Amino acid sequence: MARAFLIVMDSVGIGGAPDAAFFGDEGANTLLHIAQACAEGRADQGRSGPLKMPVLDALGLGRAVHLACGSAAPGLVAQPEGRWGAATEVSRGKDTPSGHWELAGLPVPFEWTYFPDETPAFPPDLVAKVCEIAGTAGILGNCHSSGLRILSELAGEHLRTGWPICYTSADSVFQIAAHEEHFGLERLLKLCEDLAPWLHERGVGRVIARPFLGGAEDFRRTPNRRDYAITPPGPTLLDAVSDAGRVTHAIGKIGDIFSMRGVSHLHKGKSDADLADHLIRLADEAEEGALIFANFVEFDTLYGHTRDVAGYARALEWFDARAGAFLARLRPGDLAIFTADHGNDPTFRGTEHTRERVPVLCAGAGAGAIGQCGFVDVAASVAAHFGVKTPGPGRSFL
């Protein structure tokens, strides 16, 4: 039985979302703007010249960008040898759960709860709940912020007071940063785990533990981040494949996003480099008929939110090389789909995700244009490849 690999390049959007203006993101285009910056010599830190992604471009990446937004991405000019298209999301969110659930066949059937962009951002009952669980007299932050910025502002006060640093973003998320040694890693994880059901009942999508080490001036976030996401409210591709008796492998934060539902084996790592090693290893070792579902998060966390164009370009070129090593190990009949869950344009204002279409690039499915499709069509196509029932309203493009 053939296998399928569904690989999400977190935040690698390609613009053109028809409802971008509703989200305040009109004009955002993660991949196009990075490619333009590279071609103009504005992203030469640690790399140089036009954006170089020959492996994914050969699958149709450049064509997907043009299809999504009508503009050509400099450097991405290959004649496609794979299947390629651009997918549009319908869920009313531009966050990780919305994107991944819909790619897995489940558009979000409700409105997320978001916190207002003001200070304080959180209602008194939430602050009281955090203090009750944490055993502290207060919290720090209580605002919208990027993770690195709020640590630079409050790490020292956290070390003095022992109070957790609580912040949010434009996503439906509540994040808690704390020092692994002074506050305690297990204490932080328990705080987030106990708080998550209370917030999930109120429509907040995720509680995220953000541990760090070091001092006030030399802090560093650790790889022990943990996402406590609301359970998907319906069946997904993972359920469909698992219920059919097939093995599923989750790489990276896929297990967190789907609350481990439908996941047979979980493969975590300290970095995307570790996750790429898992993906390549599973291309060699995964069982016949298995689904391997992977998320590569550092495009988003390290370079999108920090608006680091050169860093994002370096990450894209590194990933393209690893994608080549992975594709070389596929077996006859295997299907591999590269896509994304939203955008995070490092040239755009602010520090948040951006509403964009995403690429859909297929290896093992012949060559040619898929055209415009929906996120749910990705799940329908993987389901068709396996011969199992489609978990949602999508239609296969295979």
Please enumerate, by residue number, every residue annotated as part of a binding site for Mn(2+).
10, 300, 305, 341-342, 353
End-to-end Cα separation, the chain, in angstroms: 17
8 Å CB contact between 379 and 392: yes
In the block, which residue shows the tokens 């209580």? 142
Question: Angle between the 375-386 and 96-103 helix axes, to the nearest 10 degrees?
Answer: 40
Which of 311, 365, 322, 360 has the alpha carbon at shortest distance from 338? 360
Given the DSSP bridges, would you call strands 358-363 and 140-144 parallel, antiparallel or unpaired?
unpaired
Please state the residue numbers annotated as binding site: 10, 300, 305, 341-342, 353
DSSP H or E run through 335: strand 335-339
212 Cβ contact list (under 8 Å, min separation 6): 151, 155, 177, 178, 179, 180, 219, 220, 221, 222
Tokens of 232: 């998907």
- Contact between 75 and 38 under an 8 Å Cβ cutoff? The reply is yes
Beta strand ranges found along 119-255 (DSSP E): 140-144, 165-168, 173-179, 206-213, 220-221, 226-229, 248-251
Number of H helices, E strands in the chain: 13, 14
Longest dimension (CA), the chain: 61
Q: How far apart are CA 107 and CA 181, in angstroms?
A: 40
Q: What distance in Å separates the CA atoms of residue 39 and residue 35, rounded to the nearest whole number?
A: 6
Which candidate, 155, 167, 162, 280, places its Cα nearest to that of 212?
155
Q: How far apart are CA 11 and CA 343, in angstroms?
A: 4
Q: Copy the structure tokens of residue 385.
A: 């490849």
On whether the CB atoms of residues 51 and 35 are closer than 8 A, the answer is: yes
Q: How far is CA 298 from the centre of its chain?
A: 8
